[in-house]
């Protein structure tokens, strides 16, 4: 079995998230999503609309997602790859090169983002303040 992992906050779920999850799952047989905890989002100066448990429930309902685990810090990625027997690490191409250190542990794939959509853009379009951050 070829196992894949990706990371994110997955707040205000949109078609870009679904495209990434679908394409990540296509890289293997089993998709693990490491979901940023509320505490980790605070460290990143990022505020999610939905709390962790709600975002986890939403992700678990998506047919491409096989398992959701918490992300507590930037440093846990190597341990996650090792502990979950991961073969492929997937992120959006806005992160290209940032996780190349994982190539010692698994394949690293950066997928193109869906043009014209992001959680940040949705929040800006809705006039939500204090919501700046990566998706």
List pLDDT tens digits, range 87-117: 999 999 999 999 999 999 999 999 998 776 6
Confidence of residue 12 (pLDDT cuts 50, 70, 90): confident
Per-residue confidence (pLDDT) for residue 47, from 0 to 100: 87
List pLDDT tens digits, range 36-71: 999 999 999 988 999 999 999 999 999 999 999 999
Find how far residue 61's CA is from the centre of its chain.
15
Proportion of the chain in helix, strand, coil states, percent, rounded to 5: 40, 20, 40
Task: Give per-residue burial for 47-77: e unless 16+ CB within 10 Å, then b.
Answer: bbebebeebbebbeebebbbebbebeeeebb
Average pLDDT over residues 64-79: 97
Average model confidence (pLDDT) for the chain?
A: 91
Per-residue confidence (pLDDT) for residue 131, from 0 to 100: 44
Q: Read off the tokens for 7.
A: 């990371």
Q: Known catalytic residues?
A: 44, 46
- C-beta contacts of 113-117 below 8 A and 24+ residues apart: 113/16, 113/20, 114/15, 114/16, 114/19, 114/20, 117/14, 117/15, 117/16
What is the C-alpha to C-alpha distance for residues 90 and 53, in angstroms, rounded to an integer?
23
What is the C-alpha to C-alpha distance for residues 49 and 11, in angstroms, rounded to an integer?
7
Tokens 């994110």 belong to 8
The residues pairing with 110 across neighbouring beta strands, listed in sequence order, are 91
């Amino acid at each position: 079995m070829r196992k894949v992992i990706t990371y994110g906050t997955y707040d205000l779920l949109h078609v870009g998230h679904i495209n990434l999850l679908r394409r990540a799952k296509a890289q293997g047989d089993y998709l693990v999503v490491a979901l940023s905890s509320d505490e980790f989002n605070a460290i990143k100066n990022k505020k999610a609309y939905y709390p962790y448990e709600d975002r986890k429930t939403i992700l678990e309902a998506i047919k491409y997602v096989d398992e959701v685990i918490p992300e507590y810090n930037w440093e846990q990625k190597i341990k996650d790859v090792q502990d979950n027997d991961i073969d492929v690490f997937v992120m959006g191409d806005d992160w290209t090169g940032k996780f190349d250190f994982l190539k010692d542990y698994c394949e690293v794939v950066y997928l193109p983002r869906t043009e014209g959509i992001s959680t940040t853009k949705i929040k800006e379009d809705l006039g939500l303040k204090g919501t700046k951050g990566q998706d």
